[in-house]
Amino acid sequence: MGLLSNRVERNEIKPGDHIYTYRAVFTYSHHGIFVGGSKVVHFRPERNLKAITETSSNLDDPTLGPCPTFPDCGFRQPNSGVVLSCLDCFLQNGSLYCFEYGVSPSVFIAKIRGGTCTTASSDPPESVINRAMYLLQNGFGNYDVFQNNCEDFAMYCKTGLLIIDKQGVGRSGQASSVVGAPLAAILSSPLKLLMPSPVGVATVTAGMYCMSRYATDIGVRSDVIKVAVEDLAVNLGWACLDEEATEDSNEAANREITR
């Protein structure tokens, strides 16, 4: 991996690595945890999974049909967006990239595109794989493109860090980039009156964009805590939601019985 690209070959990745690939002509990237055996655990919107499973057993590309390599490719628990896929289905013929952890602030800022690295350190591979496999069985809550997406899932598996502030952007560098770019443009717009040169304005805007990304990185944020994967549901309120759903189901069942 270099400063400009995190692209790697398949024989370079190791179990516990955070990998990703680009979709829709580099419009966005999809992230997951490589758990060994050419298999990846990743997080997807549940509604997309339901639509795909109606037409095919392959959860990453309905046009491919059943996976010819692994019978358990596409395994997931009911009502969960956490999926086990083979590496081929995860990549969908795309290139393979490896997310970097523990980079210096200068390297982080130099990488203009978000969702490629973090200053936070990774936990040991066995801890990463344990979190990924636990969440495969127990879920990762509801998918949210800004606060709980595939990159958030992979970063939690790698670090165990959870953001306390539920109102802001999650751990995802892609989400931070989406928010940071227009914010930088707005903040730098008054400088157009002071800087007649478009190059000067562009430089300042780019600097503000990079600094806004850096400020939301989990490695420097102060509103993050380490949470054991077994306690994740309680910390995020999923347990309460499950209990409420169970109570509602029981009440509906009791009403049917008494009729």
Active site residues: 30, 42, 150
Q: Is 66 exposed, middle or buried (0-12, 13-18, 19+ CB in 10 A)?
A: exposed
* DSSP assignment of 22-46: EETTTTEEEEEEEEETTEEEEE--H
Name the β-bridge partners of 117.
Answer: 100
